[in-house]
Chains A and B, each alone.
Chain A
Amino acid sequence: GAGVSQTPSNKVTEKGKYVELRCDPISGHTALYWYRQSLGQGPEFLIYFQGTGAADDSGLPNDRFFAVRPEGSVSTLKIQRTERGDSAVYLCASSLRGGANSPLHFGNGTRLTVT
């Protein structure tokens, strides 16, 4: 009965390093979303998975960002050559089916700080 779990809760890395952020969705939820929230902003959409495939990755800001969901459950967001501007809270959400009528359940996020 656990909710969406994100690890780590906090990550500090140096500029130029590679990071991976993990999301464990609610069991049985086929849809998974990644959002990024900067200070004073609402969450910004990054990518949406339906099962194992990325159905919409239009929100990824550039090719340094990549996400996978190889078995249709856990997802990993990967950021290469991190920049200070990548500092934000990265939120993961899951929903039963995806789409407008399937509510999103968010995790508590990973706070990424790039120094």
Chain B
Amino acid sequence: TQLLEQSPQFLSIQEGENLTVYCNSSSVFSSLQWYRQEPGEGPVLLVTVVTGGEVKKLKRLTFQFGDARKDSSLHITAAQPGDTGLYLCAKNSGYALNFGKGTSLLVTP
């Protein structure tokens, strides 16, 4: 059961464009994690957000946690082909992580 909704499901853009992907839930998160997964590999943790309204930056990636801690967004500035991959958000449920279905991003040169 996927408790997190991610949108859009697919995104294809050209190099240099900006984009935002979203992660939403009907329930409050204690924390939220963003992962990127490349084909044939496991997900790799990008960031953890904990506090409502929190903004974290990782080079060209900006992560925001909603004030009510029910939603999060990932904004990529000047996308590059190396940003191509599946972007997953995940929240803790006990000791397990529950993942959304992900946003599949393709950046073409």
Which A residues are within 8 Å of any B CB, using their own CB? 4, 31, 33, 40-45, 48, 50, 55-56, 58-59, 91, 93, 98-100, 103-109
Is there a chain A Cβ closer than 8 Å to B92's Cβ? yes
20 additional A-B pairs beyond A45-B97, A59-B96, A104-B45, beta carbons within 8 Å, are A4-B42, A40-B101, A42-B4, A42-B6, A42-B88, A42-B90, A43-B99, A45-B96, A56-B94, A91-B43, A93-B42, A99-B95, A104-B43, A104-B97, A106-B43, A106-B44, A107-B42, A108-B40, A108-B41, A108-B42
Using a Cβ–Cβ cut-off of 8 Å, how many residues does chain B contribute to the interface with A? 26
State whether A106 touches B100 (Cβ < 8 A).
Answer: no
Is there a chain A Cβ closer than 8 Å to B48's Cβ? yes
Between A and B, how many residue pairs show CB distances below 8 Å? 60
Q: Which of B31, B95, B98 contacts A55 (CB 8 A)?
A: B95
Closest to A6 in B: B42
In this complex, the member of A42, A56, A98 whose beta carbon has the largest number of chain B beta carbons within 10 angstroms is: A42
Closest to A3 in B: B42
